[in-house]
């Protein structure tokens, strides 16, 4: 009888270990990324999980003869000798002198777009149509490797701060944020909604675990086609109890962002370099109250009509202002108007017109909304009534308040938005692996 040991024998040598094997024969597995035929030799680039390794074929090195099935995108196993290669910038690189190529699989067709060059050169819509293929391009896949680093940093930091990771349901009897951008779903004859955020559930878990976080998709039926809205995006959320003030939440986010940026520099250096990612240096993040920020915008910008919220150009202006005044890529704007924040937001006891809430702007674009929540039952019921909501419809949610909740608050941070501005993309779709927008549900 065979027995499964749980051990996977390592049959390939990672590129990072090549330096310890100079002059020795090693084996690698990967896809043929690019073949460049020269007069009496060939460069064959092998794409492994995170690298592209240069291999050189020449009849000089071995008796192996290149066959017709050595084509781009074929999956191969190559054995060869590790040698130091020459680089223009003088840095240490290694390549393999090919001894043998085992073909593991051969593609049925050539890719519909060229993916073996530095960049995939085509329209965004074509790129997205062929995402399973275009993502093979090293630069394109690096975006999502880096995005992994952001999520990992968020998770690791919060775990180090005593947070418990949760998963809340995405099919619900109500949306969370309200408004019109909620997707309806037929649920065995009943109408239900896709979650716009994990808000109500993460709050419910504060009296249970005190500090919780979730990294998961949320759904927003955005009826417009903009460069910063998706209909499904990854929300990085947390909620924490026993806060002294809503600044605790901003401090926690600042700590998380610092940790994330350091992690990217340390463990995602190849991607940072490939993408020329401009990783911000965070020491402290400046804060400004909404009304003061609005006054600045009114003073400096023309045609401001909406005094209750910001237009994108105002956020952009505030981003530049924070850079000039504080050399900061980030700016917290606090105390948004009560009218403009959701029903669960705590009003400022000193000025009930405004809330104990904030947005975080990164390079002039909102990436986070957060704040303190109402924890008192009567206060929450009153606020719901004032907003014309029926508390009876929120019986499950109100269990949180009815049966006791500590002062608490939290935030939601859009993963694609953060990625987009870290990498200087003009469109959020570049930062979504398989984006869903008003015109796209495939691939
Ligand atoms: P915006 O005003 O930019 O439309 P919002 O205030 O409606 O966003 P929130 O409910 O505050 O959004 O969501 C928290 C965060 O989630 C936002 O700061 C943003 O980073 C991200 N986000 C919100 N909506 C979208 C969307 N449609 N696509 C991608 N990210 C989004
Ligand atoms: Mg917001």
Alpha-carbon distance of 195 to 172, in angstroms, equals 6
SS3 365: strand
Question: Is residue 364 included in any domain, yes or no?
Answer: yes
Q: If you measure from the C-alpha of residue 101 to the centroid of ligand 1, how many angstroms do you get, rounded to a whole number? A: 49
| Residue 153 and residue 259 share a domain | yes
Is 357 a pocket residue for ligand 1 (Cβ < 6 Å)?
no
Taking only the tens of pLDDT, the chain with its 443 residues reads 899 999 988 778 999 999 999 999 999 999 999 999 999 999 999 999 999 999 999 999 888 898 889 999 999 999 999 999 878 888 889 999 999 999 999 999 999 999 999 999 999 999 999 999 999 999 999 999 999 999 999 999 999 999 999 999 999 987 667 777 999 999 999 999 999 999 999 999 999 999 999 999 999 998 888 999 999 999 999 999 999 999 999 999 999 999 999 999 999 999 999 999 999 999 999 999 999 999 999 999 988 989 999 999 999 999 999 999 999 999 999 999 999 999 999 999 999 999 999 999 999 999 999 999 999 999 999 999 999 999 998 999 999 999 999 999 999 999 999 999 999 999 999 999 999 999 999 99
User: Do residues 101 and 196 share a domain?
Assistant: no
Do 88 and 181 lie in one domain? The reply is no
Compute CA distances 162 → 119, 200, 243, 338, 368, whole Å.
42, 21, 14, 31, 21
User: How far is 375 from 119, CA to CA, in rounded Å?
Assistant: 51
pLDDT for the residue numbered 176: 66
Residue 194 counted as domain residue? yes
Query: Which of residues 110, 127, 154 is at a domain's end?
Result: 110
* Domain boundaries, position 243: 138-431
**Shared-domain flag, residues 106 and 143:** no
- Answer whether residue 160 is part of any domain: yes
- Which helix (DSSP H) or strand (DSSP E) does residue 128 occupy? helix 124-129
pLDDT at residue 90, as a whole number:
81
CB-CB contact of 10 with 25 (8 Å): no
Whether residue 178 sits in one domain with residue 214: yes
> What is the pairing mode between strands 211-219 and 164-165?
parallel
CA max distance for the chain? 84
Which residues lie near ion ligand 2 (Cβ < 5 Å)? 369
Same domain, yes or no, for 297 and 403?
Answer: yes
314 within a domain of the structure (yes/no): yes
Closest atom, ligand 1, to C-alpha of 366: 18
Q: Does any domain span residue 130?
A: no
Residue 33 resides in a domain: yes
Statement to judge: residues 311 and 354 lie in one domain: yes
Annotate 269-282 with b (16+ C-beta within 10 A) or e (fewer). eebbebbebeeeeb
Asked if 214 and 195 count as a contact pair (C-beta separation under 8 A), the reply is no
Residue among 132, 99, 91, 105 at smallest CA distance from 32: 105
Distance CA 40, CA 350 (A): 80
Find out whether the beta carbon of 367 lies less than 6 Å from any atom of ligand 1: yes
CATH number of the structural domain spanning residue 253: 3.30.930.10
Supply 351's token pair: 């000025």
439, part of any domain: no
* CA 134 from centroid of its chain's CA atoms: 19
> Residue 366 C-alpha to ligand 1 middle, in angstroms?
7
CA distances from 195 to 217, 260, 397 (A): 9, 26, 14
CA-angle at 95, arms to 93 and 101, nearest 5°: 160
Same domain, 61 and 144: no
Residue 8 lies in a domain: no
Domain total for the chain? 2
Judgement on whether residues 377 and 265 belong to the same structural domain of the protein: yes
Element (H, E) at 88: none
Number of residues that this document lists for the chain:
443
Whether residues 203 and 310 fall in one domain: yes
Domain edge (last residue) among 63, 92, 110: 110
Is 418 strand, coil or helix?
helix
Domain boundary among 110, 127, 156: 110
Cα distances (Å, whole numbers) of residue 282 to 59, 185, 259: 54, 42, 10
Strand 171-172 to strand 93-105: parallel, antiparallel, or no bridges (unpaired)?
Answer: unpaired
Q: Which two tokens stand for residue 382?
A: 């009153």
| 182 & 70 share domain | no
Do 77 and 172 lie in one domain? The reply is no
Mutate to test the pocket of ligand 1, among 250, 414, 427 (most ligand atoms within 8 A of CB): 414
Q: What is the pLDDT of residue 89?
A: 82
Atom number of ligand 1 nearest to Cα 367? 20
Cα first-last separation, the chain: 43
Residue 46 belongs to domain with CATH number? 2.40.50.140
Distance CA(33)–CA(357), nearest Å, equals: 49
Indicate the DSSP class of residue 346.
Answer: P
Q: Is the CB of 417 under 6 A from ligand 1?
A: yes
Q: Is residue 213 within 6 Å of ligand 1 at its C-beta? A: no
């Amino acid at each position: 009888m065979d027995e499964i040991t749980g051990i996977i024998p390592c049959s390939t040598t990672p590129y990072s270990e090549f330096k310890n094997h100079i002059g020795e024969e090693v084996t690698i597995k990967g896809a043929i990324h690019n073949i460049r035929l020269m007069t009496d030799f060939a460069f064959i680039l092998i794409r492994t999980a995170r690298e592209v390794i240069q291999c050189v074929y020449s009849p000089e090195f071995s008796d192996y003869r290149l066959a017709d099935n050595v084509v781009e995108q074929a999956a191969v196993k190559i054995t060869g000798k590790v040698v130091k290669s020459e680089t223009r910038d003088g840095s240490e690189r290694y390549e393999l002198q090919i001894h043998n190529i085992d073909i593991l699989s051969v593609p049925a067709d050539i890719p519909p777009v060229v993916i073996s060059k530095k960049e995939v050169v085509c329209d965004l819509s074509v790129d997205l149509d062929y995402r399973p293929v275009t993502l093979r391009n090293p630069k394109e896949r690096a975006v999502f490797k880096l995005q992994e680093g952001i999520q990992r940093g968020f998770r690791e930091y919060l775990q180090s701060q005593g947070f418990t990771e949760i998963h809340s349901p995405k099919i619900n009897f109500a949306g969370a944020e309200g408004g019109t951008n909620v997707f309806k779903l037929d649920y065995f004859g009943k109408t239900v909604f896709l979650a716009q955020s994990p808000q109500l559930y993460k709050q419910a878990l504060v009296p249970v675990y005190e500090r919780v976080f979730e990294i998961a998709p949320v759904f927003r039926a955005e009826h417009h086609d903009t460069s910063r809205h998706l209909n499904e995006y990854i929300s990085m959320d947390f909620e924490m109890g026993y806060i002294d003030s809503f600044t605790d939440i901003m401090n926690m986010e600042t700590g998380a962002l610092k940790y994330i940026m350091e992690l990217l520099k340390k463990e995602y250096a190849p991607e940072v370099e490939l993408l020329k990612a401009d990783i911000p240096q965070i020491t402290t993040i400046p804060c400004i109250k909404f009304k003061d920020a609005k006054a600045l915008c009114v003073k400096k910008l023309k045609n401001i009509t909406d005094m209750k919220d910001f237009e994108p150009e105002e956020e952009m202006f505030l981003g530049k202002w924070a850079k000039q005044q504080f050399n900061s890529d980030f700016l917290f704007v606090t105390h948004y108007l009560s009218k403009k924040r959701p029903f669960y937001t705590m009003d400022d006891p000193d000025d009930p017109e405004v809330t104990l809430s904030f947005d975080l702007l990164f390079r002039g674009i909102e990436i986070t909304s957060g704040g303190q929540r109402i924890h008192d039952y009567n206060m929450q019921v009153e606020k719901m009534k004032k907003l014309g909501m029926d508390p009876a419809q929120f019986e499950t949610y109100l269990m949180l308040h009815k049966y006791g909740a500590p002062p608490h608050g939290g935030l939601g941070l859009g993963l694609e938005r953060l990625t987009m501005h870290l990498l200087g993309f003009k469109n959020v779709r570049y930062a979504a692996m398989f984006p869903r927008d008003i015109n796209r549900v495939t691939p």
